[in-house]
């Protein structure tokens, strides 16, 4: 490329008058001066071909999803006029969605816990009160397989002015090459062509909800009146959702 120059084709040639690029052939027809960043990007392609022709690789790693859940409930009559219940629910979900190449997949982890208490009190045959309290705590984490990677992973590629801005963001930059298989995060996150980790937004999102509710039911003749109210408080705790923290680089070829 350093020897390239414009050349005007002479009269009598197939492209007479046209300007074309010419240059000295690379010695031995072998490129030896590969950019250091490109060498590290190429090293991300670790799988050997397992098919003839093009495309020449298929990843048969299965996707995995595990769900676990249990619930405990207690109902107790304290007296003829007082009934009580308590409930605890726990749910956990783990998903692994493989990408086009081994070693690159998207991981999703979710844990939810729900706790509820209820108290029903009968004041009289025509007056009933129901009070309830609920609490929900969730934790959700999206990331890539093996992420976050060791400290300095992003900076180690040697791309000017690109480095991680927190431990959770350390991953391989995304290098996108047109004409090559989608790669990077697996599953629905693979929306580009190339290799790397950072094609989606790694997310760390714990939150919780508190609910308070009370209803008073009054029966008067042929009429039933219900009075009450509810309050819900939602808190999002320490959310982290950086957009493409390791960078994404596209090459059209």
Residues of the chain under the 70 pLDDT cut: 181-194, 198-201, 253
At residue 186, the pLDDT reads 36
Beta strands in the chain (DSSP E): 5-8, 19-22, 64-79, 82-98, 105-124, 127-144, 174-177, 203-220, 223-236, 248-251
At residue 253, the pLDDT reads 67
At residue 6, the pLDDT reads 93
At residue 240, the pLDDT reads 83
At residue 185, the pLDDT reads 38
Of 158, 197, 152, nearest to 175 (Cα)? 197
pLDDT digit string, tens, across residues 93-112: 999 988 778 888 888 999 99
């Amino acid at each position: 490329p350093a020897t390239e120059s414009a050349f005007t084709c002479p009269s009598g040639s197939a492209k007479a008058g046209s300007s074309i690029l010419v240059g000295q052939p690379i010695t031995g027809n072998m490129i030896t001066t590969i950019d250091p960043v490109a060498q590290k990007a190429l090293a991300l392609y670790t799988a050997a071909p397992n098919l003839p022709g093009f495309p020449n690789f298929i990843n048969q790693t299965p996707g995995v999803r595990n769900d676990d859940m249990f619930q405990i409930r207690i109902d107790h009559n304290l007296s003829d006029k007082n009934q009580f219940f308590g409930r605890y629910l726990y749910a956990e979900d783990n998903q692994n969605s493989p990408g086009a190449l081994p070693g690159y997949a998207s991981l999703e982890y979710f844990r939810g816990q729900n706790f509820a208490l209820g108290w029903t009190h009968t004041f009289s045959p025509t007056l009933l009160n129901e009070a309830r309290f609920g609490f929900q705590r969730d934790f959700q984490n999206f990331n890539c397989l093996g992420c976050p990677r060791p400290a300095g992973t992003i900076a180690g590629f040697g791309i000017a002015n690109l480095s991680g801005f927190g431990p959770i963001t350390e991953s391989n930059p995304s290098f996108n090459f047109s004409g090559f298989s989608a790669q990077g995060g697996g599953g629905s996150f693979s929306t580009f062509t190339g290799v790397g980790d950072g094609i989606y937004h790694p997310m760390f999102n714990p939150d919780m909800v508190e609910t308070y509710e009370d209803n008073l039911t009054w029966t008067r003749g042929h009429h039933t009146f219900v009075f009450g109210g509810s309050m819900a408080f939602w808190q999002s705790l320490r959310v982290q959702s950086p957009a493409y923290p390791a960078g994404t680089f596209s090459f059209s070829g």
